[in-house]
Amino acid sequence: MTVKAYGTRAADQPFEPMDIQRRAPGPHDVQIDIAYCGVCHSDLHTARSEWGGTLYPCIPGHEIVGQVSAVGAEVRDFKVGDTVGVGCMVDSCQHCSACAEGLEQFCENGFVGTYNGATKDAPGHTLGGYSQRVVVSDKFVLKIRHPREQLAAVAPLLCAGITTYSPLRHWKVGPGKKVGIVGIGGLGHMGVKLAHAMGAHTVAFTTSEGKRQDALDLGADEVVVSRNAEEMKRHAGTFDFILNTVAASHDLDAYTRLLRRDGTLVLVGVPEHPHPSPNVGNLIFKRAAIAGSIIGGIAETQEMLDFCADHGIVADIEMIKAQDIDAAYDRMVKGDVKYRFVIDNATIAG
Ligand code: NAP
Ligand code: ZN
């Protein structure tokens, strides 16, 4: 079937309306009428081919929420009218050891991304949520239990939420732990809310003086403006865990210096250009670690959505029209988002 979408035809081209094809639902497929789609910095990296390898036309969007409008004959867990979400993955091999453990994000044969992933569907690569409708295997569809009026603000949980929740859980963040969240954008503002809800002493690191009060309102116990060397120094050697969400290359030593013995700095930001090589001294004298993490598995994504519903957590969003995607990207590059743009997909029809 033909549906309307917003996409780009080359790295240096603006977004434009497009007609795309979605497959008819197969026996295990769920067809979703998309209500809202969050705008992730990964969408920008991909649309502008900052990581290379972008296939065009490119239709990003992996923070999808909406209503089920059809299901295949074998689908048991979803029915027409259900409120559901789709995150960064729409498929994986389902037979490797990672998939068997519910860690589809580490699928040894490569998970299929919601956009720019390999598919038999036209045009040969997946097309994401900046569109009216999507058809997805039921294994990759999430249930949303938040109240209906919060739906737009739930969308960012599908990527920004799980990408911060998963490492916070894996590294056992909770009461008695001092936790830093670096970069108060889409991911970072969710990281602050989640670390706070998990009971950790949460410190927000921002380059933006203007986000100081906001970060406290989001749930941070303390805020550090990272450009201020004196403020940074006060926290040297005190952190159990630091989650770094910054979307640009920067000096990681500024953060490894803040770790205590056996502390971990986890990188989730994926900048276009590599970070300068870190200083080994900050690691060996404290047995400290630099690690990475990518999104989360489907079971953990459902756990995160349920945790957020139970704790009344949603993203802080600014709603935009599909026609405003380019302007939103330009603002995102400047760190000027409070704190996630979400597309009202009803505007895609024009
Ligand atoms: P975002 O909303 O643009 O937030 C990034 C924040 O980083 C900015 O708001 C800013 O916060 C800070 N920052 C500091 N210096 C910056 C600079 N020179 N350029 C850009 N940002 C700077 O981005 P996001 O959607 O949260 O994504 C962050 C990164 O995570 C991206 O690289 C994205 O591709 C990646 N990502 C990774 C995963 C994963 O699974 N690992 C998943 C999703 C996204 P302050 O103003 O507070 O300094
Ligand atoms: Zn994302």
pLDDT of residue 44: 98
pLDDT of residue 350: 81
CB of 269 closer than 6 angstroms to any ligand 1 atom: yes
Q: Is residue 185 part of a domain?
A: yes
Q: How far apart are CA 135 and CA 121, in angstroms?
A: 10
- The answer to whether residues 20 and 39 belong to one domain is yes
Least distant ligand from the CA of 37: 2
CB of 186 closer than 6 angstroms to any ligand 1 atom: yes
The CATH number assigned to the domain holding 169 equals 3.40.50.720
Q: Is residue 306 part of a domain?
A: no
- The answer to whether residues 143 and 18 belong to one domain is yes
CA of 261 relative to ligand 2 center, distance in Å: 31
- The answer to whether residues 99 and 177 belong to one domain is no
- The answer to whether residues 136 and 231 belong to one domain is no
CB of 337 closer than 6 angstroms to any ligand 1 atom: yes
For residue 296, which amino acid is it? G
Q: Is residue 302 part of a domain?
A: no
CB of 89 closer than 6 angstroms to any ligand 1 atom: no
The ligand 1 atom nearest the CA atom of 332: 3
Q: What is the CA 280 to chain-centroid distance, rounded?
A: 30
The 8 Å CB, 24+ separation contacts for 251-258 are 251/275, 251/276, 252/276, 252/278, 252/290, 253/278, 253/279, 253/282, 254/226, 255/180, 255/182, 255/205, 256/282, 256/283, 256/288, 256/290, 257/232, 257/282, 258/180, 258/232
pTM score of the predicted model: 0.98
Substitution candidate for ligand 1 out of 63, 158, 168, 207 with most atoms within 8 A of CB: 207
CB of 268 closer than 6 angstroms to any ligand 1 atom: yes
Domain count, the chain: 2
The CATH number assigned to the domain holding 6 equals 3.90.180.10
Q: Is residue 272 part of a domain?
A: yes
Least distant ligand from the CA of 189: 1
Structural domain for 50, as ranges: 2-159+314-349
Nearest CA to ligand 1 atom 4: 185
- The answer to whether residues 327 and 277 belong to one domain is no
pLDDT of residue 206: 98
Q: Which residues are CB-contacts of 242 (< 8 A; sequence separation ≥ 6)?
A: 179, 180, 181, 182, 205, 255, 258, 259, 263, 264, 265, 266
The ligand 1 atom nearest the CA atom of 45: 34
Compute mean pLDDT per 10 residues along the chain, 350 residues long, and list them.
98 98 98 99 98 98 98 98 98 98 98 98 98 98 98 99 99 98 98 98 97 98 98 98 98 98 98 96 98 98 98 98 98 95 96
Q: How far apart are CA 190 and CA 156, in angstroms?
A: 9
- The answer to whether residues 191 and 150 belong to one domain is no
